[in-house]
Each structure stands twice: as C-alpha cells, then as structure tokens.
Amino acid sequence: MGPHVKPTAQVNDFDIQALVDSQLGWEDEKRIWKEIENNPALKRRYDELVTQKKLLLQWWAGEDGGRTKSSQSQERREILLV
C-alpha cells in the first residue's frame, strides 16, 4: 500500500489491486467497495491504482509499444552484437 494508507482488517492493497484488475468474485467486490466507500485513504489508493493502470495501458498501446527511440537503438545494437 502507499505510505499513507493503512490496511483495514477487511481490505489490504492486494485486494484493491485485484479489484482494479477485475480479479475478484462478486461478493468480494461488494465487500471491498463497501470498505473503499467508507475509507477516504482506501479510496485515494483505489484512484491511484486506476490512474496507474490507465497510464500503463496508454503507454503499452503506443505505436512503439512504450519504447523510446533510445531503447530501440540499444536493442538494435544488442542484436547486432549477437
């Protein structure tokens, strides 16, 4: 969890990550949402993870798969050396 978030007895950072990644069953989702709705710190963490996921998806969807020109050049050099 982020440094400002303390897990509750029912919800921890892994639970929130699983919620963001749609890895939970319906009952677990309801339980975790109830905790998030009642805990501003958990809600902030949820929002952080959603933002992170969106940014990562945008990055990976880029034309170069998120790689910069310099990383592509490095990959080419490594291929030539092999």
Nearest to 1 by CA among 43, 37, 55: 43
Q: Please state the rounded mean pLDDT for residues 9-16.
A: 90
In 10 A of CB 7, how many CB atoms? 17
The pLDDT of residue 70: 59
d(CA 56, CA 60): 6
% of the chain residues with pLDDT over 90: 59
Contact predicate 15/32, CB 8 Å: yes
The pTM of the full predicted model, rounded to 2 decimals, is: 0.66
Residue 27, SS3? helix
Q: E-assigned strands of 1-82?
A: none
The pLDDT of residue 62: 84
The domain tally of the chain equals 1
Range(s) of the domain holding residue 23 = 13-81
The pLDDT of residue 17: 96
Is 36's pLDDT higher than 70? Answer: yes
Residue 4 lies in a domain: no
Is 67's pLDDT higher than 80? Answer: no
